[in-house]
Amino acid sequence: MKSDEYWKGVLTGVFGAALIAAGGCLGYMFTVPKEEGVLSDKAHVQKIEYLESLIDSYYLEEKEEESLAEGIYAGLIYGLGDPYSRYYNAEEYEEEYTSTEGAYVGIGIVMQENPEGGVKVIQCYEGGSGEAAGLEEGDIISSIDGTDIRSLTVSEIAHMVKSSDGSVTLTVHRENAEEPLTITVPVTDVELPSVFYEMLEDEIGYIRISEFTGVTYEQYMDAFRELDEQGMESLVVDLRGNPGGLLTSVCDILNEILPEGLIVYMEDKYGNREEERSMGDNELEIPLAVLVNGSSASASEIFAGAVQDHEAGTIVGTTTFGKGVVQSIRKLSDGSAVKLTTSNYYTPNGNNINKVGITPDIEVELDPDLLNKEEISHEEDNQLQEALKVLGK
């Protein structure tokens, strides 16, 4: 499951670049020049019509016109052969947008389909309304406000919760509980945690960023201020396993670290260049080490590349994933959306790291004995220990 979430993040890429590279076109219908294309060739149109006639004549089950249409749209983008471009139907886009923004309306839990029906709670967000109401990991939810949900999908259930009037009453089945529980949970704005922090020995602050979402900058600043108040004298930023996310988010954080100058620039197919720059007003004045690995991608590589080029810190770990292209997303009038690769991005020194990655200043592989462990202590983590040496501790 973690692997699926990682690849979803990689494919999402620098989702927020849509607001920059596409000039803030979210929410509007595509406006494109009329050119010769696939559907201008009558042979292609006739072939589609013929395929549909075969379905009508021979396909055993009933066809759904809307599903066929959605398949055509998705297939057109799939035909690009680009792993980062994608068509989203309205429901998929809503889920993608929620994930990328890092905030949604709900009850502060992560659900997955339960094989016997209903949904299973696999995580309760700390401080969320679900946790406060008494939900626990492993609980099975079978009904909402008296409606049986055992035949519904996770997306349909999430929509029910979001559409409720202030709160939901859940029928909950808990292991070792003789009778189902009835738990009422307020429906609130939920902020997904993407920043985790603690103070290590020798006043070393440690901040791990799991993804760059719409709420990551505020979470980072809260973490930094808390560590600063505790007397932080140096900082480790851990980007290992971070698949990327919003361009705006990573640039906002880098503006709190870098001297004045270029953070990253993008160039489209026409040679048009757009830049993101640091003001230099809040340049970090303590030693910095950044941890990366082969699963650090996209916005994580923007972070590492900018720190490295500005010599603002030391990059430690293994070569990053190598995703140096930007996606722009356009929402269409029917709620669907299309994401296209629209630009290359370059580090401040002009390096395009697509399919190459960022080579750390200090290369160190994670101890092979730790690769299959679910949890690794700081003492066992030889990459983190190397970063601490860089900071002179």
Active-site residue, selected from the candidate residues 309, 336, 339, 343: 309
Burial of 41-77, coded b for 16+ CB within 10 Å and e otherwise, reads eeeeeeeeeeeeeeeeeeeeeeeeeeeeebeeebeee
Helix (H) or strand (E) holding 3: helix 2-12
Greatest Cα-to-Cα distance within the chain, rounded to the nearest angstrom: 75
What whole-number distance in Å separates Cα of residue 244 and Cα of residue 10?
6
What whole-number distance in Å separates Cα of residue 181 and Cα of residue 173?
6
What whole-number distance in Å separates Cα of residue 144 and Cα of residue 170?
5
Respond yes or no: is residue 164 known to be catalytic. Answer: no
Tokens of 210: 């799991």
What whole-number distance in Å separates Cα of residue 141 and Cα of residue 181?
10
What whole-number distance in Å separates Cα of residue 393 and Cα of residue 201?
9
Respond yes or no: is residue 334 known to be catalytic. Answer: no
Query: Would you say how long the chain is, in residues?
Result: 393
Which one, of 163, 168, 160, lies nearest residue 186 by Cα?
Answer: 168
Respond yes or no: is residue 343 known to be catalytic. Answer: no
Active-site residue, selected from the candidate residues 298, 300, 336, 343: 298
Active-site residue, selected from the candidate residues 323, 331, 336, 381: 323
What whole-number distance in Å separates Cα of residue 141 and Cα of residue 135?
10
What whole-number distance in Å separates Cα of residue 60 and Cα of residue 73?
24
The three state secondary structure string of 212-238 is ECCCHHHHHHHHHHHHHHCCCCEEEEE
What whole-number distance in Å separates Cα of residue 365 and Cα of residue 372?
14
Which residues are known to be catalytic?
298, 309, 323
